[in-house]
A and B are shown apart, each in its own frame.
Chain A
Amino acid sequence: MAHITINQYLQQVYEAIDNHEGSFCAELLSFKHPHVANPRLQLASPEEKCQQVLEVPYDEMVAAHLRCTYAVSNHDFVEAYKCQTLVVQYPFGISGDYFGYIFSSLPIPEGFDDCRMIFQAEQQLLRKGKGKLGDMLEKAAEQLMGCFRVCASDNRAGIDDSKKWGMLFLINQLFKIYFKINKLHLCKPLIRAIDSSNLKDDYSMAQRVTYKYYVGRKAMFDSDYKPAEEYLSFSFQHCHRSSQRNKRMILIYLLPVKMLLGHMPNHQLLRKYDLMQFADVTKAVSEGNLLLLNEALAKHETFFIRCGIFLILEKLKIITYRNLFKKVYQLLKTHQLPLDAFLVALKMMQVEEVDIDEVQCILANLICEGHIKGYISHQHQKLVVSKANPFPLLSSSS
């Protein structure tokens, strides 16, 4: 593949189309296939040659693809992106029936498989000082939306030929872009579309894992922790054992959600996936050690902010307060706890400027959230806790 001539390549494409070999045709147009490294195929103007061998519109499509390989070899990602968009437009000009089933799923995804290319084009533009961050990505998103609409409205062909099979893949690509440009609210209609589709459980596992990963992250962002845990756990369990990097990415978001629900990860897991940043956080939360928590968050701040989980980890403070106060209760061994004791505990943790009013507020908040069973008596300046299970398990009260 790496040494064939342009004519041989075009002949292969022609035969693939003629014999209705959809997947092979897709490979010949994909950037994951070794043919893209072949310098003989990297041509700036291959239109003539393509016209000689192939019919309309394939000639245009393949010509665009070859121009794209040329651009990539010159590291001109902006041009490459433009060519790639052309490649993707053509399949939609073809109606179902004869051509439909070739294009029903594969070349479309392959054409956009390289979102990396889009990101690289973005970087190049930025370096040249042109365009705002997100410009190129927004345009790509618009293109993808167009493709998606065509897929979603394809009611003509039978289920095997239907373009609906391309939907989930396109949605995953759109999610990637929306998360990158931080416009998560645009994900909602896409999620609704899949929820109402009857194909949702029949897509490939890889696509479903990716889909649930993004939906889980969105749920996290919206503070819906129970559904977030469901989605991300599914993603993690069904993610292929060999994709360590992907599993790590899922874990980065699954861990905070699980911690908020009271389940702390063990060290083995953290070490296995190289996520030792969470180790101190976990330790601090389970011990009720606010000081250590603040230190841990500060130490790995950059990492957490970059992943977008810093704010969620700050929510662990509530759980830490609960664990700290539980220790106070266990130490004093009484059901009528003086508020002063909690104030002392907080001062020991070097919490700045905290006074007895704030202690009351924090305790009241814990009671309100169901983490403590009891009430505060302002007159006696005491917290009176229930004799039975005053600190219910976190998993039951969240």
Chain B
Amino acid sequence: MNMLLQGPLVLRPLYLFNVMHLPLFFLSDSISRLDQKCLFNSSHSRRRGQPVERDFRQHHNQGVWREVQEERRQESIPRGVCLSMCPIRELQDREAQNLLHRFEVLSGTERERWPRADPSGVVKEYARPAAGKDSTRPSDLRPPAVLLKTVFYLVDNIAASPTLRPWTEVYDFVFDRLRSVRQDMIIQRVSGADCVAVLERTVRFLIYASYRLCGEPLRLYDPRINDTHLQESLSWLLECYTSGKHPNQEEFQALGLLYNLGSSRATQHTMELPERIRSSPVMHLALSVSRAFMERNPVRLLRLAHSLDFLQSCALHRHLETCRRDLLLIYSHGHSSKNCRFPLHKLAHILALDVPLTNQLCQAHGVEVRGDYVVFSKTSFTEPEAGKLQCAHFHDLVDRKQRDLTVGSIIHGCT
């Protein structure tokens, strides 16, 4: 409370009342720079030319102080000069403290007490911004060209590597290092083609990972964290697309729509795209899938899903569970009768699953199977127990599209 009273109290008693209202502004974490200027550019400081404003801010919390500093530095955006994937300082620090990752260690020195760094393999790691820490030192920032080179290294030598195992560890490493790349981009306000190239690969990687690691235990892979970062990167990418021409735009608008199937926000965004993008074949297919989902026509949706390519199927796959559940629900009501005999193989065909899996799915949903026939009944349908059904078992629709695609080609987009 002391700091709040320091400024205004000096000058006018009336403002004692003011101060009571101020905490509301302080507690709000949405206080903008404009707010502060209005509040503290009060008459006395301007009239008498006193630096009350500056003193006050110095006692205010760190975050706001940094914001003010940043504002003053706005004219000078940091420009990185580090030409390697990792700043020398960090490499030396981590090597000395034995904090190198398994993939960054010079081969042959892994078993030693202090493994040595492989300069061609160390990549700058993500570090949370902290008070008092300067994350804008040019020697620590990598310029856009180096960032792109780093991404290529991560994709070709780590993510697509046929020898590095397990893939959960590969994912962790690439995820973290890509996050650091994005951080460098944010600090340097990178935009345009470089930014787009990095983000496109990031999004493809995260979508691929969401499929490949689906079903892994939570301690090894958290789908929620993957989703958060995927959505962030996707939003940023779509924002970049609003200026300039980008050849892959349709691909990513479609991926965004499929990944966020059912979201009114994503669908509305797509509807507002220019006609020529919406009418491209890839968007047209994605929109048809979206429409089928909105109209609750799972038969049509699953049929259209056959035409999607591998990465699109990866983006869609987490919605397939809902889709199949919808189908069983609708059919339970629509075919509900005592004499119902719906062929099991027919149901399997519609669900794009094999017969044993269809059987398993029906049982989980309370749908009765008698030999080769399914007996639908609206009263017997139930929601499956949480965790009973494992999405990973039902991946066939996506699996068979991978064929001989390499991870590298999937992420770089040259399929």
Contacts and interface: CB of A to CB of B under 8 A. Distances in A.
Interface of A: 56-57, 59-60, 82, 85-86, 89, 92-95, 132, 139, 142-143, 145-146, 149-150, 153, 182, 221, 305, 308, 310-311, 314-315, 317-318, 357-358, 360-365, 367-368, 375-379, 384
Contacts of B386: none
Given A139-B34, A142-B32, A153 B333 contact: no
Contact of A82 (B24, B34, B331, B334): B34
Contact of A143 (B21, B35, B265): B35
A376 B334 contact: yes
B345 interface: no
Contacts of B25: 146
Contacts of A376: 334-335
A330 B226 CA distance: 53
A86 B294 contact: no
B340 interface: yes
B43 A311 contact: no
Nearest to A97: B17
A364 B335 CA distance: 7
B350 A357 contact: yes
A55 B327 CA distance: 72
Contact of B340 (A358, A360, A377): A377
B357 interface: no
Majority secondary structure of chain B interface residues (helix, strand, loop or mixed)? helix
Contacts of A142: 30-32, 34-35
B339 interface: yes
Given A142-B32, A361-B298, A150 B24 contact: yes
A375 B337 contact: yes
Contact of A146 (B17, B28, B342): B28
Contact of A364 (B30, B295, B331): B331
Interface of B: 12, 14-15, 17-18, 20-21, 24-25, 28, 30-32, 34-35, 38-39, 43, 239, 264-265, 267-268, 271-272, 291, 294-300, 303, 327, 329-331, 333-337, 339-343, 346, 350
Nearest to A140: B34
A59 B47 CA distance: 12
Contacts of B331: 361, 364
A93 B31 contact: no
5 contacts: A142-B31, A146-B24, A314-B294, A357-B299, A363-B334
B341 A93 contact: no
A378 B299 contact: no
Nearest to B374: A378
B264 A57 contact: no
A60, A93, A308, A310 — most chain B CB neighbours (10 Å): A93
Given A56-B43, A310-B271, A95 B17 contact: yes
Given A93-B15, A310-B271, A365-B297, A377 B329 contact: no
Contacts of B31: 142, 146
Contact of A365 (B14, B35, B43, B296): B296
B350 to A, nearest CB: 6
A358 B268 contact: no
Given A365-B295, A378-B335, 16 more contacts: A93-B15, A95-B17, A95-B18, A132-B239, A142-B35, A182-B265, A221-B264, A305-B271, A314-B291, A315-B294, A358-B300, A360-B334, A361-B327, A365-B330, A375-B336, A375-B337
A73 to B, nearest CB: 23
Given A143-B34, A150-B21, A311 B268 contact: yes
Nearest to A223: B264
User: Nearest 8 CB-CB pairs, A to B?
Assistant: A364-B334, A95-B17, A361-B299, A368-B333, A367-B334, A375-B337, A364-B330, A89-B38
B17 A145 contact: no
Contacts of A379: 339, 341
Nearest to B269: A182
A375 B334 contact: yes
A151 to B, nearest CB: 11
A365 B292 CA distance: 12
B297 A153 contact: no
Given A305-B271, A360-B334, A89 B21 contact: no
B330 A146 contact: no
Contacts of B329: 368
A60 B271 CA distance: 47
Given A95-B17, A153-B24, A361-B297, A86 B38 contact: yes
B330 to A, nearest CB: 5
A262 B342 CA distance: 33
Nearest to A375: B337
A272 B295 CA distance: 32
Contacts of B327: 361
Contacts of B340: 375, 377-378
A167 B349 CA distance: 58
Contacts of A150: 21, 24
A358 B297 contact: yes
Contacts of A360: 299, 334
A146 B350 contact: no
Contacts of A367: 333-334
A149 B28 contact: yes
A358 B299 contact: yes
B330 A361 contact: yes
Contacts of A318: 295
A85 B24 contact: no
Nearest to A321: B295
Given A145-B28, A308-B268, A364 B333 contact: yes
A142 B37 CA distance: 14
